Amino acid sequence: MPQAARTQQDGATPVGDGSVLITLEQLRLEWHRFLEHLTKKGMQVLVSHLHSSELNSCSPHGIVGIGCCRKFSYEELLHDAQVLEEELAGFYGLPLKLQVRYDAERDACTKERTVFTMFQELSESNEVVRYLISEFGGELVY
């Protein structure tokens, strides 16, 4: 059964021109298979950027929104947006368009802490570490 016909039976939104668009839930259900499809085509770097991103929306007009919480992934996905859009449309068999967004707020929340930052926090918050430093002197060094 063609992908578009299967999608219509699964409850996708029909559009006035006869094309059928997929819902966000349906897109998410097939997302893992789509990533495997890209991997088989040798697009591992693109897949790794997509893994660190999130499917945010899918409009009735077929615009798929992807949110990136890493600036580097956002820039790479934006650079390869045309290729990704073609692969997305081909895989789902629908006229899908891509919209890549950078989520700076989420990026700030997920920043990786360095070893130095973690040791600094530990020396300020852990009573045992504070006691050892005050009794024996020195400071935590990695």
CA distance 65 to 54: 9
CA–CA dist 55, 66 (Å, integer)? 5
Flag whether pLDDT at 41 surpasses 90.
Answer: yes
CA atoms within 13 A on the CB side of 119: 8
Quote the CA–CA distance of 60 and 70 in Å, as a whole number.
27
Banded pLDDT at 43 (limits 50, 70, 90): very high
Nearest-angstrom CA–CA distance, 88 and 37: 10
Q: Given phi > 0 = left and psi -120 to 50 = alpha, else beta, which region is 11? A: left
Per-residue confidence (pLDDT) for residue 127, from 0 to 100: 85
Q: What is the pTM of this model?
A: 0.62
Res. 113: pLDDT tops 70: no
Among 23-32, 68-77, 78-87, 114-123, which is the least confidently predicted range?
A: 114-123
Give the Cα separation of 28 and 54 in Å (integer): 10
Domain 3-109 fold: GMP Synthetase; Chain A, domain 3 (3.30.300)
Q: Give the domain ranges of the chain.
A: 3-109, 112-142
The tens digit of pLDDT for each residue in 46-59 reads 999 999 899 999 88
What is the mean pLDDT of the segment spanning 41-68? 91
